[in-house]
Amino acid sequence: MAATLFQGLGVVTPSFSSSHSNKFMLSSLSERKDGIFVVRSDADARILKTGARKHELLVTNAVATKGASSAASTSKSGSGHELLLFEALREGLEEEMERDPCVCVMGEDVGHYGGSYKVTKGLAPKFGDLRVLDTPIAENAFMGMGIGAAMTGLRPVVEGMNMGFLLLAFNQISNNCGMLHYTSGGQFKIPIVIRGPGGVGRQLGAEHSQRLESYFQSIPGIQMVACSTPYNAKGLMKAAIRSENPVILFEHVLLYNLKERIPDEEYVLSLEEAEMVRPGEHVTILTYSRMRYHVMQAAKTLVNKGYDPEVIDIRSLKPFDLHTIGNSVKKTHRVLIVEECMRTGGIGASLTAAITENFHDHLDAPIVCLSSQDVPTPYAGTLEEWAVVQPAQIVTAVEQLCQ
């Protein structure tokens, strides 16, 4: 089976509760496909108790601070069930559709076909064609329909078959999705989730290897998160659906077949918190999505060389969790940013600016940012590898930073 995968802020108070609390019977998902390629993720499984943290209004300077630490417990063995990342996304979506009848799905082939990566498989027979709506190949149209549905009180989850296709809906996302709450004087909320696969795959060519984080980060009113493990994929999906803000959930096309044990108990993650993947003392490495695994591969080499890197999956691309990031910078005094996004105007550039503005006095060396080359993603496999950051480059960068 060929695996093809993957800041203006909202001005509404984020909420982990919907206006509807109807409970439905939850049937467990037991779908598996023979011959599927399975990879273990490196993440710890944790349960973040809903309501353990009070959420503040989103700030307007493209950063987030943490008011209180979240209560979390660890569940690594014994309890829980194993899911692939795309199955974890489906489970989170299905649970929210059962919990709240206002949650609906729309997009190309999301219905009886089950989505191009099977995230919505089985939902159309269960919830019906009106809640799992197949749309024409008209991104601008069905994105506008989703935004209009959100304005009337529904909670649509709009799938872009490929994130690159959402450029056709950029006007709707920018001028309507992100701004209507403000331009209506607070009369309308836009609780919509925009999700789909993106990132550099395996020889998918330039148009199907888009990294659009940098395109959307400048739109006021939009939150952005990127999942990287089955655990955080489900938790972020549920949080995004319950949020009163429009949320873009980035999924990497090469991570859908990651496998991990996740808790049986319900959990919802914060949309504004980074994840400490590996504590360390010598250098802070900030990353997200697929690059998390390149960084962790490089970390093994670095440890063997005597370095102790601290690895943080920022997860929240907008706003940044500057509480977690700042505490790490104050400890290590060195920062390396690793991203798959383009170098010019990318997430790394915004993160560099935010760290420089807030923690300049704590830095003992200039911030280093490793990004993809500013070129269309080549089709040839060898050239594709050259265009994206590789683990060896991360090792070299840390060695130079720590000299």
Q: Catalytic residue numbers?
A: 139, 208
- What gap in Å lies between CA 365 and CA 252, rounded to an integer? 31
CA distance 50 to 16: 7
- Tell which residue, 306, 320, 243, has the closest CA to residue 274: 320
Q: What is the DSSP string of 140-179?
A: HHHHHHHHHHHHTT-EEEEEPSSGGGGGGGHHIIIIIITT
**C-alpha dist (Å) from residue 290 to 155, 191, 254, 387:** 28, 27, 7, 14
**334 and 364 in contact (C-beta within 8 Å)?**
yes
Phi, psi dihedrals of residue 71, rounded to the nearest 5°: -85, 125
The angle formed by the CA atoms of residues 343, 348 and 350, to the nearest 5 degrees, is 110
* Whole-number Å distance between alpha carbons of 8 and 174: 11
Amino acid letter at 140? N
Distance CA 299, CA 313 (A): 14
Task: Report how far residue 337's alpha carbon sits from residue 354's, in angstroms, rounded to the nearest whole number.
Answer: 12
Number of neighbouring beta carbons within 10 Å of residue 325: 23
Task: Map tokens 């056709």 to a residue.
Answer: 168
| Alpha carbon separation from 131 to 105, 236, 290 (Å, rounded) | 6, 21, 31
